[in-house]
Amino acid sequence: MSFSAVVLVVAVVTGGLLAGVFFVCACAVVPGFRRLDDRTFVGAFRAINRAILNAWFLPVFFAAPVAAVLAAVVTGRPLAAAGAVCAVLTFAVTVGANVPLNTALERAEVATDAGRRTARERFERPWARWNLVRTVAAVVALALLALAALAA
């Protein structure tokens, strides 16, 4: 197998894993958490935000955009380049929007009902909106990279 083929496979696999995580959040976590009271919502989302920073997720999170860009460079394929743009957008949205919202939720004063309600109001809708953006970007990246790999 050629180096470019290996890079494309890595880009597709890591991109697929990320797209799956973000898709599950959009389809199950966000709708499920809407049903929770403020105390449970804040506690559960904080727990997820802490748990995802692990040795399984973080390497995939960083490898996906790097592998996509590398795939675009080594293959020279327009589909791989478009997939790389979407993979980088996924990363940028996560780092620029979702992570700061996670941090704000973690730091929010939630000792009272009013504090939990305010923290949730500032977090829930923007986080869900940005998660939908990154989900679409990740799925499009995956599709484009897979098409680039099939065109080999």
Look at the chain and report how many structural domains it folds into.
Answer: 1
pLDDT digits (tens, 9 = 90+) for 8-58: 999 999 999 999 999 999 999 999 999 999 999 999 999 999 999 999 999
CB distance 3 to 39 below 8 Å: no
Sign of CA dihedral 93, 128, 53, 81: negative
Residues spanned by the domain of 97: 3-150
Q: 């020279």: which residue's tokens? A: 76
Instruction: Kindly give, in sequence order, each residue whose CB lies less than 8 Å from that of residue 30, ignoring residues fewer than 6 positions away.
Output: 128, 131
How large is the average pLDDT for residues 89-98? 98
pLDDT at 95: 98
